């Protein structure tokens, strides 16, 4: 198993997910700061847009952080980090796992760039609707599905931590304590340590 990655990017999600599964993997650094870099052919097969993270697992070559989390949970942690295929929680799990790329990231980008928004026009609503919905989802629960931590929390938790780091998170006890719970996970801490220059 190999992860093409770069520090301080969405690769951290894939590192966190890999650390949660406990499966052995290697890392290969892609210098995303250098637009003139030579991308390895295998990396481009996994990630045609040349973006990290990208994963190679035997004949499986793939990118997109949500897809990577979904793949790893289904393949290596079904029934723990992913609800089983016939578990009634599966629908909610998939909804929340996709919430980051489908709703959080586009609405964050609009907010960050000061784009005029309309929650009825856009499939992702707008930033405020995104936050309200997430707050209701996590409110009163440890993890997004309740007591069980899943890959959906890797995607949501990394997004909430990121928004808090960049001062985009409105005052919210529910979201802030969720971010703290995520950060307290040893696997997330190991992933963050791997981002440090001394580990590379």
Ligand X SMILES: N[C@@H](CCC(=O)N[C@@H](CS)C(=O)NCC(=O)O)C(=O)O
Question: Under the rule (CB under 6 A), what is the footprint of ligand X?
Answer: 9-10, 32, 50-53, 64-65, 101
Distance, CA of 57 to CA of 62 (rounded, Å): 9
CA 106 from centroid of its chain's CA atoms = 14
Beta bridge partners of 5: 29
What is the distance in angstroms between the CA of the first residue and the CA of the last residue of the chain? Answer: 18
Identity of the residue, 32 or 77, whose beta carbon is nearer to ligand X in the bound complex: 32
Identity of the residue, 10 or 27, whose beta carbon is nearer to ligand X in the bound complex: 10
Q: How far is the CB of 177 from ligand X (least distance, A)?
A: 25
Q: How far is the CB of 139 from ligand X (least distance, A)?
A: 26
**Residue 1, both tokens:** 């198993």
Identity of the residue, 106 or 172, whose beta carbon is nearer to ligand X in the bound complex: 106
Q: How far is the CB of 53 from ligand X (least distance, A)?
A: 6
Distance, CA of 151 to CA of 17 (rounded, Å): 7
Distance, CA of 179 to CA of 199 (rounded, Å): 24
Distance, CA of 65 to CA of 119 (rounded, Å): 25
3 state DSSP class of 97: helix
Q: How far is the CB of 43 from ligand X (least distance, A)?
A: 10
Identity of the residue, 32 or 98, whose beta carbon is nearer to ligand X in the bound complex: 32
Q: How far is the CB of 65 from ligand X (least distance, A)?
A: 4
Identity of the residue, 52 or 187, whose beta carbon is nearer to ligand X in the bound complex: 52
């Amino acid at each position: 198993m190999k992860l093409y990655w770069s520090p301080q990017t969405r690769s951290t999600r894939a590192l966190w997910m890999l650390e949660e599964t406990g499966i052995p993997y290697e890392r290969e650094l892609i210098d995303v700061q250098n637009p003139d870099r030579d991308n390895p052919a295998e990396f481009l097969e996994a990630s045609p847009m040349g973006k990290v993270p990208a994963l190679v697992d035997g004949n499986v070559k793939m990118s997109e952080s949500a897809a990577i989390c979904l793949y790893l949970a289904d393949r290596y942690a079904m029934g723990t980090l992913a609800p089983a295929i016939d578990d009634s929680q599966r629908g909610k799990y998939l909804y929340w796992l996709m919430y980051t790329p489908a709703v959080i990231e586009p609405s964050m980008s609009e907010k960050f760039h000061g784009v005029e928004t309309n929650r009825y026009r856009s499939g992702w609503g707008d930033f405020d609707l995104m936050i309200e919905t997430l707050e209701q989802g996590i409110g009163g629960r440890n993890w997004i599905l309740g007591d069980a931590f899943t890959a959906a929390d890797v995607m949501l938790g990394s997004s909430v931590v990121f928004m808090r780091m960049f001062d985009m998170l409105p005052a919210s006890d529910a979201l802030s304590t969720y971010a703290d719970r995520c950060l307290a996970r040893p696997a997330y801490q190991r992933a963050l340590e791997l981002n440090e220059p001394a580990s590379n």
